Structure 1
């Protein structure tokens, strides 16, 4: 029997769930919809590894292979190592018998523990659940609202010095090699050192016929030289220095790159005290914050702290995540996530914040050049043509290749920090070399896989969207890049496959390198025209933040549908990049600014799929009413406000419930269901002012939800459901 699975995740989305899920559950029950929850939070994932909780992620992974899958997936933490350690500490304090994370395993048992934790870190959720490709776009109601109530994209100042700095050579993009496999096989990845030793990096890498395997290496030597030059440039030009990475998704490579940046900035400190820090287990990869937190345990900790302060004062000036709390761009690897931080910089006129909270021009450092050109193109376009006007611009939607852990975001188990000079080789089962790179000690080498079935499905989905919307579809692929050249061959072949994609006559479908595709899309946006970006996995992630943030002010309002290849559906609810800040505000002021609009949108197609799969017509009635209610919600501007005294996330949920009940009460497709909701609609309408007053009355004081990674359900529910009148109305219903 079909059922809808609603995921419990982390941070602001989780807290919002304590308020929103009781509403959804009550409404769904009346329509005969089976509704269940599964915990895929970082805390839940950790506990599952030690048998202290059900492995909900594994269960949902199996479900995605069923045509009955119907999963509503909220944003979750893709934990960096500091976040993982913080979650472990909180769980231990709550009485869970789990071990510390072993930074340097001393025996097999500790190695096994580390391996368990590795299954809970980084982007482990998405590769499991995303067994289909991505269709993300702004719903018409959201786009209409943005045009009626445009946010502000600030202009870059005259003579702005803000720009993107990237390596451009000796990096992942420039060193990439790729091959398409002719038959099923099992590959091996080995390092042959200059001393003649052969180290097996990965013993078994199963591949399928038609699968693309690519490999590349980023030179540590050239990375360090690039960073040293970037630091000198930032200081000479008097701009802020900031680095923009994705240490959550690229959980092996990007923390290492981040560590290089920390060591480059604090070169004098590491030259003098590096051995002391290493002996104390304080790693630059974990960020400046972790180092500072551990200095008290060192005999010369005060001396090292003073040296760090001296370096910070001497420049170049760092950008700050939170100048009030002294949190720099280099404090935590997961604090500055490129897909959220770069659009924020562009929206803010190319400025980030210094240690005094002043807005300043910035050198945005994106070491690997694979996609840095996309952001550089937007920066230069806005400098030349002025900020994008949300009241008039078109949309850039996305069809993203991500099924079966496609591309860079599936590289975690095939990424290595090379221990010695030598050659890394990818060998087939016959011992033939498919790919190889000369490497130096400290280099970062990685391989990625992209299976053929996801590529076929991706092309089919892109053509379908172009046909349905009469919108140009642009494949963002660079024929000079090894991997993209292999993908382009497949794309061209499948576009010619009429059985797969149908008749493409009259459709505008093109292939452009990412920088050119960016410029093309921006040109159309400024004319008020829409474009579909058809991208690989990383650009899917980047584009579905970049363009929505410029268009809508947020990426949380996107409709995100993943038609699973097996026939089921995964319905995602937006991005969670701002979630940590929202939690901090809730704890300080009992005010949650998180916008659940993404959940509203995701539930509509989820209900529609349920209606079809389970043969429950009332579910379609529920979906249609929710769609109309969301339009009213937007027209009435009921999203969370920006300051105390206005409705927050909890108030927005009340208004969604009010409008939804009203729509259900007056619909005529199911008179019996209308009668069920008539009383609730009447009650909520009559009690509107009382409920809103009760929701606003709690604001302004600190509150406690009993934990960050694992909130106490009773405390979190009490905080997120503070209106007795609303609670009683739902209970009576």
Structure 2
């Protein structure tokens, strides 16, 4: 029989640790069905090493796994399981570089303001690595993301708690509503293929090419907009005063990982506004030391030890923190505020957590309080305010009775990649930014000031056509309303609406409910339906896809990690994503301190089953279908028996969860009747694992409670990780029998 191949990604943090435990089980079971599981390292450290291969020794060099998978994603044979990876903010990137340098890898520093050719070359290479560099390469298709039926059934039977907002709650969202990305957006649809330049002309006539040779296709949507930095600073100052007047916590919510260029700058503005007096007094000294507000308060404080007068500056920061509005804390025990690290408070994860917790975040002493949630750009802030208003008016959502809001997301071919990559700029001098075509015609023009943040983005026509098709397909398959979350008052959305209406005409939509609503109205509509136990498909662009596939799952089933995320690739392959990674850093910290990994791999079980099913269909491997069907049933048992990691030492952690999915999967394979050969292979293993259950669990729990050395955070030692994540000799011996 043909050997079928699934490509399993090695990523970062807790998902990478978990892979060391789960993958040996998966590979052993898959091999029995002539399915080969190959790995590809797309971790942040791996990506750094790949782009600097020419500067490393031969033994240190690694291949460009991301580039390889990106090419594969454009073929019908693609079958890729993608785990959450670090979407590297600048502080994370610098930390990874430092770790690699300490391990003996000759990679250069990341220089914020490069001045030499070598520094500019290094910066150019790092720009290919930082932020959400992985997703645009692999996502050669649109997103179909939903809660599996087994997860919804479990949530209804074992509902988590969504807390009520207290009477008179002061929690709300603050957003600009003017002079921001939403307000200033302009959009054009290209009548023909073209090559564009982005050009800045200063008031003194100096011309700077920001981007040259941008190739675009017929029908492609090109958008450009900017954030007025002066208006931003004024807004931030007003929100600080408002938080102090209302005596609530001040909390900034951005996406400094996905919007890797724009949002760290916004974050820096917030830090400088909060500590305005400190920067007025010490700004020159901080700049001379290379300490940037864009990297967060934590990086600045950590770097003061090497700055003359550092103790005085640190004291001034402490004083300003005490005198300003009360700020929310990421970790009050460690003194980590909302303004410490740009990547610590990511809007799509932080806002649902705030809403689920009754509108409260945590202060300096760990106590909870109402919060002013600051989301500067108004593009999607209304979604969260509408949700807050709904919960205040109607009470918290009850997971035992509510419906679901699955998502069909436009993301293929880097659609709507905002605020990142090579088309976002902090304007160096007041003047004008123009988008100019090959004929010299100005397509889009903005008058800009020094410090404004200007960005452009592309959305190709083919992904839009496919997105509409996927939405209709899901609506037809489920007989559930499909709502396009688009605002005709927004320039980009107006062009997208025209395409949606055009391509809907290509499909039979008789009997289906397919509507277009602006995001806040769509939020209220969807919340109203799920309170009645009804489902509603959200059909959204890329950023809202990212936001909603956390918002609704966290309220519905307690986490976004339990979602089934399928990306039908445009050329027929499949990409299967395993869930969000927002809490991964905390899990790693606990693991290193206590040898206890609370990461939940449930999303991987769903992704693997879908991947195996896709493989069976595309290659004719019937045994792969048996693996998929039995894994689905095993996952149902896993949920019913509540084998997800516990909350404290002494219970099973991630490694115990993997043992149980392996046990239940073997039991299902042994008793299935579709393939006698497979049943025979797993009969003995199922008996061995069943008989040894108590001993294996004891071995897995026995190692807990002590620190564990994994040899690094971004580039851990593989042998140490393997030893730490596979501590049960009994389980390892049983797997070896396959």
Q: Contact conserved, 1:318 with 1:329, CA < 8 A, in 2?
A: yes
1:521 aligns with 2:526: yes
> 2:49 maps to which residue?
47
| Shift in Å, 1:94 | 1.1
Please state whether the residue corresponding to 1:289 is helix, strand or coil.
helix
| Shift in Å, 1:411 | 4.6
> 1:229 maps to which residue?
238
State the alpha-carbon separation in 1 of the partners of residues 308 and 368 from structure 2.
Answer: 38
> 2:433 maps to which residue?
424
1:191 aligns with 2:200: yes
1:116 aligns with 2:125: yes
State the alpha-carbon separation in 2 of the partners of residues 651 and 251 from structure 1.
Answer: 36
Of 626, 630, 640 in structure 1, the residue corresponding to residue 631 of structure 2 is 626
Of 605, 610, 614 in structure 1, the residue corresponding to residue 615 of structure 2 is 610
Of 650, 657, 662 in structure 2, the residue corresponding to residue 652 of structure 1 is 657
> 2:712 maps to which residue?
707
Q: Contact conserved, 1:589 with 1:702, CA < 8 A, in 2?
A: yes
| Shift in Å, 1:679 | 0.4
State the alpha-carbon separation in 2 of the partners of residues 612 and 453 from structure 1.
Answer: 25
1:452 aligns with 2:461: yes
Please state whether the residue corresponding to 1:174 is helix, strand or coil.
helix
> 1:27 maps to which residue?
29
> 1:10 maps to which residue?
12
1:668 aligns with 2:636: no
Structure 1 residues 6 and 409 mapped into 2: Cα distance closer, same or farther (>3 Å)? Answer: farther
Of 106-115 and 137-146, the range deviating more from structure 2: 106-115
1:155-192 alpha-carbon deviations (Å, 9 max, x no partner): 11110000000000000001111010000000111111
> 1:593 maps to which residue?
598
1:201-248 alpha-carbon deviations (Å, 9 max, x no partner): 111111100000011010000000000000000001100001000000
Equivalent runs, 1:659-698 vs 2, <5 Å: 659-698=664-703
Structure-1-length-normalised TM-score: 0.99
5+ unaligned residues in a row in structure 2: which ranges? 54-60
| Shift in Å, 1:614 | 2.4
| Shift in Å, 1:714 | 1.0
1:274-319 alpha-carbon deviations (Å, 9 max, x no partner): 0110011000000001100110111111110010000011121110
Q: Contact conserved, 2:4 with 2:34, CA < 8 A, in 1?
A: no
> 1:173 maps to which residue?
182
> 2:471 maps to which residue?
462
State the alpha-carbon separation in 2 of the partners of residues 70 and 641 from structure 1.
Answer: 32
Of 156, 175, 193 in structure 2, the residue corresponding to residue 147 of structure 1 is 156
| Shift in Å, 1:409 | 3.8
1:564-595 alpha-carbon deviations (Å, 9 max, x no partner): 00110000000000111111111111111111
State the alpha-carbon separation in 1 of the partners of residues 505 and 115 from structure 2.
Answer: 56
| Shift in Å, 1:616 | 1.5
State the alpha-carbon separation in 2 of the partners of residues 298 and 712 from structure 1.
Answer: 34
Please state whether the residue corresponding to 2:181 is helix, strand or coil.
coil
State the alpha-carbon separation in 1 of the partners of residues 420 and 290 from structure 2.
Answer: 26
| Shift in Å, 1:101 | 1.5
State the alpha-carbon separation in 2 of the partners of residues 404 and 95 from structure 1.
Answer: 36
| Shift in Å, 1:711 | 1.1
State the alpha-carbon separation in 1 of the partners of residues 487 and 560 from structure 2.
Answer: 26
1:661-714 alpha-carbon deviations (Å, 9 max, x no partner): 000000111101100000000000000011111111111121111111111111
Please state whether the residue corresponding to 1:408 is helix, strand or coil.
coil
Of 710-719 and 516-525, the range deviating more from structure 2: 710-719
Q: Contact conserved, 2:419 with 2:455, CA < 8 A, in 1?
A: no
Of 465-474 and 583-592, the range deviating more from structure 2: 583-592
1:156 aligns with 2:165: yes
> 2:487 maps to which residue?
478
State the alpha-carbon separation in 2 of the partners of residues 621 and 460 from structure 1.
Answer: 30
Please state whether the residue corresponding to 2:114 is helix, strand or coil.
coil
Equivalent runs, 1:263-278 vs 2, <5 Å: 263-278=272-287
1:726 aligns with 2:731: yes
State the alpha-carbon separation in 2 of the partners of residues 557 and 305 from structure 1.
Answer: 42
1:485-509 alpha-carbon deviations (Å, 9 max, x no partner): 0000000011111xxx3x1100000
5+ unaligned residues in a row in structure 1: which ranges? none
Q: Contact conserved, 1:582 with 1:592, CA < 8 A, in 2?
A: yes
Please state whether the residue corresponding to 1:570 is helix, strand or coil.
strand
Of 404-413 and 620-629, the range deviating more from structure 2: 404-413
1:582 aligns with 2:591: no
Structure-2-length-normalised TM-score: 0.98
> 1:640 maps to which residue?
645
Output the aligned Cα RMSD: 0.8
State the alpha-carbon separation in 1 of the partners of residues 137 and 91 from structure 2.
Answer: 23
1:208 aligns with 2:217: yes
Please state whether the residue corresponding to 1:474 is helix, strand or coil.
strand
| Shift in Å, 1:613 | 2.4
> 1:390 maps to which residue?
399
Q: Contact conserved, 2:404 with 2:535, CA < 8 A, in 1?
A: yes
1:256-290 alpha-carbon deviations (Å, 9 max, x no partner): 00000000000000011001100110000000011
State the alpha-carbon separation in 1 of the partners of residues 399 and 366 from structure 2.
Answer: 27
1:300-358 alpha-carbon deviations (Å, 9 max, x no partner): 11110010000011121110000000000000100100000000000111000111101
Please state whether the residue corresponding to 1:200 is helix, strand or coil.
strand
Q: Contact conserved, 1:410 with 1:449, CA < 8 A, in 2?
A: no
1:553 aligns with 2:558: yes
Please state whether the residue corresponding to 2:413 is helix, strand or coil.
coil
List, as ranges, runs of 4+ consecutive aligned residues in structure 1 with deviation greater than 4 Å.
Answer: none
Q: Contact conserved, 2:261 with 2:419, CA < 8 A, in 1?
A: no
> 2:84 maps to which residue?
75
Q: Contact conserved, 2:197 with 2:214, CA < 8 A, in 1?
A: yes
Q: Contact conserved, 2:140 with 2:413, CA < 8 A, in 1?
A: yes
Structure 1 residues 410 and 226 mapped into 2: Cα distance closer, same or farther (>3 Å)? Answer: closer
| Count of aligned pairs | 729
1:568 aligns with 2:573: yes
| Shift in Å, 1:410 | 7.4
Q: Contact conserved, 2:131 with 2:420, CA < 8 A, in 1?
A: no
> 1:365 maps to which residue?
374
